[in-house]
Every structure is written in structure tokens, then in C-alpha cells.
Amino acid sequence: METFKDYLPAENFLQDRVILITGAGQGIGREAALAYAAHGATVILHGRKVQKLESVFDEIALLGKSEAFIYPLDLEKAEEKDFQITAQSIAQQIGRLDGILYNAAFLYGLTPMQNQTIEQWRTVLQVNLISSFALTKACLPLLKAAPDASIIMTSDSHTAEPTAYWGPFLVAKAGIEALVKSLADEWEKTIPHLRINSIIPGVVNSPQRAKTHPGEVKQNIRQPQDIIPTYLYLMGSDSCHMSGKTIFC
């Protein structure tokens, strides 16, 4: 099992790259956005709550190293045209896109199947799986134009050993892993400079973890910043040889 917890890139190894981070307002997404910006990237902050995105924007401004943009979008309600508008706005306002980190996630909590509803399944699959496909499709022309582009999707450890009560969230994350492998195979010869991989963060203090393990002592588990080296590695050119892989933090 490959691990990149000790990866230390050059200070500006993401210089001149533009990276879109979904779910950038909190948790792992926030830490990744700050890390990418600290290493020279222009970051596009996506999320539902503008106030949280503005807070991350201000933190990036204090770094004084790169630009940041805010692109709010409610993934639950977004339709195909909304993803296309996002991609068009990036093209018009920034002119390029070199990477996407899919970090936005949503689940209702752990519950037996008889308590789950069709509406919940639709929402969870929309936010965690369908939106990742739709935004990738919309941004594909920009990614194809980049000399070295990387997509990172977020999976979950329960996909390897499915357990009770995870329902639509587990199914969505299993779909993410299948999508990553399918697209990596599709692009291997047609778009060789575009790679796609998935990350399994594991046990990390995050908003989603708080929903599934509410009684856990947060100080006793890893914090989001502890796993950022893996996110840096997969976004930069050092991982240009990797595609279709699932990386455990």
C-alpha cells in the first residue's frame, strides 16, 4: 500500500496552476485549499455556504502568494446547465483549469434500510456521485487544454468492506471508485496528460465523521492537516505516472 504522508514538495510546485476544490469551506477541503494556495496555486473555492468560503478566501489572501475565487453552488439542486455555467465562468474569468479536488460530501447519518427513503438516496447520490460526473464532464475541455491535469475524488474505507447502515453514501462512494477506474482507462490513450485518482482519508476529524461518530473524542484522531501531503502529491506533477489508483491516507 503506497503512502505519501511524508511527502514534502518544493515551495512553489503548484505555481501557475488553477485548482478547483469542492467542499472548500470546511474540513479537509479547507486545508487542501490553503495548502494548494501556499504552494502557489490559484484556487477556486466551491461550497454551499458563502460565509465559510469567504473565511477561507481571507485566509488565502493573508498568505499573499496566490489568488482565490469563490464559486458557490448547491450540488443537491444543481442541474447539468449549472455545471456548464460553472465551467464557462472559469474559462471566461480565469482562462484555465489544471486540477479538481472533489471533497464535497453529504450523508444523513447511519440508519437501518427501513428508515431510509428514496428522496434520501436521490440526494446522497446526487451530491456524492452524480455531481462529480457532471462537473468533470463540464470542465473536460479546460482539463484537456492543460499540459498536466489532475482530478482527485474522495472515496471511503467502507467501500472495501461494506458494513451495515451506510446505505446510499456507501453506494455512492463505491460508484466513485468505479468511475475513477473507468475514466482512467478511457483517458489513458486519448488524454494521457489528464489523470484521475481517488483518496480514502480514513479516520479524520471532519464534519462527516462527526455525523457518523458523534461521541468520538476529536482530539484523539487525526486532523485534516495531517493527511494533506497525500493531496499535494496527487495534485502535482510528481504523480503524473499515476491514474486509476485508490490511495489510503
In 12-170, which ranges are E strands? 18-22, 42-47, 68-72, 99-102, 149-154
Whether residue 19 has pLDDT greater than 70: yes
Cα separation, 146 vs 239, whole angstroms: 15
The pLDDT value given to residue 210: 65
Whether residue 140 has pLDDT greater than 70: yes
Whether residue 129 has pLDDT greater than 90: yes
Please give the CATH number for the structural domain made up of 18-248: 3.40.50.720
- Tell me which residue of 142, 144, 173, 145 sits closest to 157, measured CA to CA: 173
The pLDDT value given to residue 62: 95
The pLDDT value given to residue 5: 82
Q: Supply the pTM of this predicted model.
A: 0.93
Cα separation, 22 vs 44, whole angstroms: 8
**20 DSSP 8-state letter:** E
Going from N- to C-terminal start, the domains of the chain cover 18-248
Length of the chain counted residue by residue: 249
Cα separation, 171 vs 235, whole angstroms: 26
